[in-house]
Structure 1
Amino acid sequence: MVKKLQAKSLLSKAKKGNNQAFIELLQDEKVKLYKMAYIYTKNENDALDVVQETIARAYANIHTVKEEQYFATWLMRILINTALEMLRKNQKIVPLEQQPEQGQISTNDEKLDLLQAIEQLDEKYKTVILLKYYRDLQIKEIADLLGCPEGTVKTNVHRGIQQLKKCLNKEGELYGERY
């Protein structure tokens, strides 16, 4: 109860321009923001850029948050949109690094295989899969976060899982295991 009251007063102070209150609101979210940004960008510097841009956008628009209970959701929505925007801009950039040949890639780690498979998903599936299984959000929370109906979220989660299964089975990484 005290934390809720404290968060509410922090939000109202931040809306009035109190920088310290805004910083305190971000303290609980900063690690979550970085982890989610890193999953999208796969690069420490880009992830930090996304988090920085997210914080700047949040600071500029803090007045739009209606209630303190939605602050984390609102902040995550900004981060996802910022990360996707950055990825779209960077798609036009061709990396100069030489790609390793297939024989050089070691795929012993199942987590690495899964992350690689998630990276191949369409953005709408990737986003809901990450929010559901990485952030442990409920379908309703994801729908609120993304601003879409719960049925759409359920469909995208299901289709994302189906694509993951096909991708992992096609590459022979699961050897018939079932998720």
Structure 2
Amino acid sequence: MKLLSLGERKKEKELKKYIVDNKESLYRFAYSYVKNQDDALDIVHDSICKSLTKIDTLKDIGNIKPWIYKIISNCAIDYIRKNKKYVINNDLDLDDSISYDTYENIDLQKALDELPEKYKTIVILRYFEDMKISEIAQVLDENTNTIKTRLYKALNKLKLKLSDDEE
């Protein structure tokens, strides 16, 4: 077992507090990749384990949010690659006897699911996880201008998709 320095123990304590305070958001983010409760929980669990073992790579306590989201994103992508069972099927035959989460705007959810992953992730982080552009750039290892451009394109694609659905 590795001994942690005083600074690393402080980071670990802050990380644990962040995880507990934001567990629903972390789960939602993982779920946005796999659309399966059990798999999303596995991804969050793996991400927490990785983050705790790699706490020494966290340079600044103030960057916990983008750091943990980056770990979750990488774990989710790895999980999908390993399992190769995720195929988007929008023509689901839902059992009426089972209660599902209801969305206020199912058209928005469907349009979001149809976006390419590089756009979808940015929209989710910006509008559902309330991250700043600079934090998203950190999570995705991209330039802030690239993130702004992709966000703009994603919003235009969503707007076009939603306006096509209305017609």
TM-score, structure 2 normalization: 0.77
Tell whether the 8 Å contact from 2:47 to 2:71 is kept in structure 1 after alignment: yes
How many angstroms apart in 2 are the aligned matches of 1:10 and 1:113? 50
State, as a whole percentage, how many aligned pairs show the same letter. Answer: 35
Structure-2 residue corresponding to 1:105:
none
| Structure 1 residue corresponding to 2:140, chosen from 141, 146, 155 | 146
Runs of 4+ off more than 6 Å? none
Alpha-carbon offset, residue 150 of structure 1 = 0.9
Number of aligned residue pairs = 154
User: Matched residue of 2:105: which SS?
Assistant: helix
| Structure 2 residue corresponding to 1:67, chosen from 57, 60, 71 | 60
Alpha-carbon offset, residue 87 of structure 1 = 2.5
| Structure 2 residue corresponding to 1:77, chosen from 56, 70, 76 | 70
Q: Name the Cα RMSD after superposition.
A: 3.0
| Structure 2 residue corresponding to 1:13, chosen from 9, 15, 21 | 9
| Structure 2 residue corresponding to 1:134, chosen from 118, 121, 128 | 128
Higher deviation after alignment, 35-44 or 123-132: 35-44
How many angstroms apart in 1 are the aligned matches of 2:138 and 2:87? 35
1:76-115 correspondence to structure 2 within 5 Å: 76-92=69-85, 99-100=92-93, 111-115=105-109
Alignment-mate amino acid for residue 49 of structure 1: D
TM-score, structure 1 normalization: 0.73
Structure-2 residue corresponding to 1:52:
45
Tell whether the 8 Å contact from 1:10 to 1:24 is kept in structure 2 after alignment: no
Alignment-mate amino acid for residue 141 of structure 1: E
Higher normalized contact order (CA 8 Å, seq sep 6+, divided by chain length): 2
| Cα gap change, 1:121 to 1:63, in 2 (>3 Å) | same
